[in-house]
Structure 1
């Protein structure tokens, strides 16, 4: 399998400082931790060292031999890390149009041409029939037994993220904690907490999830989806300026019923959180027309 042309690999080498066998500022240990936490991949697996054991050679082999969605996730995660390093060091961009060139490459991998007028490179063509199916899936969850609803809700969300091209990952377990999945939005990775309870959730659940986020890389974000919503007291106690945004079941209903794109909902929630500090802004308030 060959995912990337030689000329595009040259761009990747330049972007991520790979010419001397290194990748950005990673040590062997932090490189392995990065791949484990961001992608759920053991980059130290001998199969990725078939082209050589340096970090750069392992990364090149990995990118050429995994599926294209994984390549896109990897490039997005590395770009986020690169930009965080550059911002911390207050370094100017040394490669002309670096972000534009990477987006173009990601667009090619996503199957859309560079000049596509209707959406950014890599954006999916939304299947309305699939959206209708997802709406039916959400309604069917209410008829399930309580102990199975949580798992069905996680699957529903994964299907929803997948329809909008957000590259979801299935739930996974780290030492001492369960993560209900993750997805890629823009250049950021979001961990997911999904709850289907009979009553609105309070501050305890919000703090537990935020604690998981704080234990990950500084650029990690979180989406907490509670079908039953959140108590006003819990949101007030949780406070502002957190790395978590929230959705409730009515948000999802409004989004699907009004045919509002999930990526637009997330974009407005993220912007609203940045402007107000509030983790939960309702879809009906963000989309008043």
Structure 2
């Protein structure tokens, strides 16, 4: 359930012209298609049957029942739509209202059910890797974490294999995720990159988490014909894995920067 305030609701209703049951210039069909395309949600389902069931009331129900992130995202996408269709006035009052509603959307989108969603991104120019990361983020943004579990498992395998390649950590195509990750943790220890014994313990415990993730992927995700893991446990897993990825990204950032600086050295500037 989103936490849009009464003042914010007044601003949003003014911008999207919700009086008399309408929403911008949408017809019933185009409004249904817009929400379905952007969020995979059927806005004319019983869940959004609020008061008269008009377009405006269905949008109000969306804001009422969906999480903050989705409520913020639909605000931003509707503003984009309004600009694309030239539906907003260009006077100063309208500009201020649009700015205020954009800020409402930004505030709401900061409240993602997965804390470090931005850490799930490709680390190279591989098109498939980028698409994989994109589909995971989209599942989270649509509040469908259960559907992201098998793809997240594939993403983490690709991600950790890249780290192993970078540091010449041996593996083969059958090496399991937890073994790959264990090899990387061992590298961090050997290179004395980690300062705290507690950090070491947390990462070592993550090795067993990765091993359990193998089971979830094989038996509780869409990887096979399985009964799917429930929403709340899916969120817990996504948060735990994304937190590990965010930490690794922070650890790797200095080495990535050093590599780029080395590549940028002009050979003509060398003193020999």
Shorter-chain TM-score: which interval? 0.3 to 0.5
Higher helix share: 2
Higher RCO by CA contacts (8 Å cutoff, separation 6 or greater): 2
Higher strand share: 1
TM-score under structure 1 normalisation?
A: 0.41
Whose radius of gyration is greater, 1 or 2? 2
